[in-house]
Chain A
């Protein structure tokens, strides 16, 4: 049973038929780990905290730089040089004191990924590089944790929800490692994509709607167009191919 102040805080979403008080209770019990607090992570974390996701962990080993501030809206001018995970957690707690927020100021690697995501219900992939995305994808499959992928470039973005062992994973679709470059991006793009990732997380937790599984959503902000591409599990996938 939700206390009165929470009923009031979340009243506008509780009156959505697909959520209701039962859905709000599920959000309160949910544990979401967000890998990255950059452009994608700022948007998804903000809306998941506002929606009342009970436990949020922010993983980010970077420190805030001036060039982050065009898009990473959880970090402000006063935060330059601070740990991003701490900066993000501080804002989220202020936004919604009802939510438990943990800051993990660590860079995800082979040695810590298992510990960092263990016990969580959902992983939000808000990273900025493919090697770590692959690492997280593999760990999500290993620990059977739904994985919500988002990525951006310029005015373009992509979203995919992965239910381990059931739907196509990131590695089914992506294989190589393109040469690294400084990704061009305008803040509105990760804002759109991060909000879509948060939407998927809320839908998963509350059991609402139809998840973006086996469908890669491609957002083209310049033409203001969303394209849905049909994907399937790849039998040759080295992460989930043998896991059917």
Chain B
């Protein structure tokens, strides 16, 4: 199943890659496929225990997901977007 992941907001970790096509039925599978394809962002997405990092938010079709993110089902055509916290002023 083709799921598009927008990682354009993960600068400077994303090596200037804007979007990646991944496969999976759950967000967890999609993100594992994502970090396999772009290893440079693995430490941004997951913490040392393999859990979702608290520095990012995952959006499915531009809707925020606060809880149970990794077990959310996704379907072909869905779009994930990953946002890293920023705080500059």
Binding site for B on A (CB under 8 A): 36, 38-41, 126-130, 133, 150-154, 156, 158, 172-176, 178, 183-185, 190, 216, 218, 220, 223, 227-232, 234, 236
Which of the segments B20-28, B31-39, B51-59 contacts the partner chain?
B51-59
Interchain CB contact (< 8 A) of A230 among B12, B55, B64: B64
Complex Cα gap A153–B12 (Å)? 10
B interface secondary structure, majority: loop
Q: How long is the Cα–Cα vector from A228 to B83 in the complex, in angstroms? A: 12
Given contact pairs A38-B89, A151-B86, A153-B86, A178 touches B55 in the complex (Cβ within 8 A)? yes
Cβ contact of B57, chosen from A40, A154, A173, cutoff 8 A: A173
Question: Which residues of chain B have C-beta atoms less than 8 A from A174's C-beta?
Answer: 57, 85
**Binary CB contact string for chain B from 51 to 89 against chain A (1 if under 8 A, 0 otherwise):** 001110101001110110000000000000101111111
Q: Which residues of A lie under 8 Å from residue B86 when comparing CB positions?
A: 151-153, 156, 158, 183
Residues from chain A with a CB closer than 8 A to the CB of B62 are 227-230
- Candidates B66, B67, B81; contact of A229 at CB < 8 Å: B81
By a beta-carbon cutoff of 8 Å, the part of chain B in contact with chain A is 8-9, 11-12, 18, 53-55, 57, 59, 62-64, 66-67, 81, 83-89
Residue on B nearest A153 in the bound complex, by CB: B86
User: B57 — which chain A residues lie within 8 A by C-beta?
Assistant: 173-174
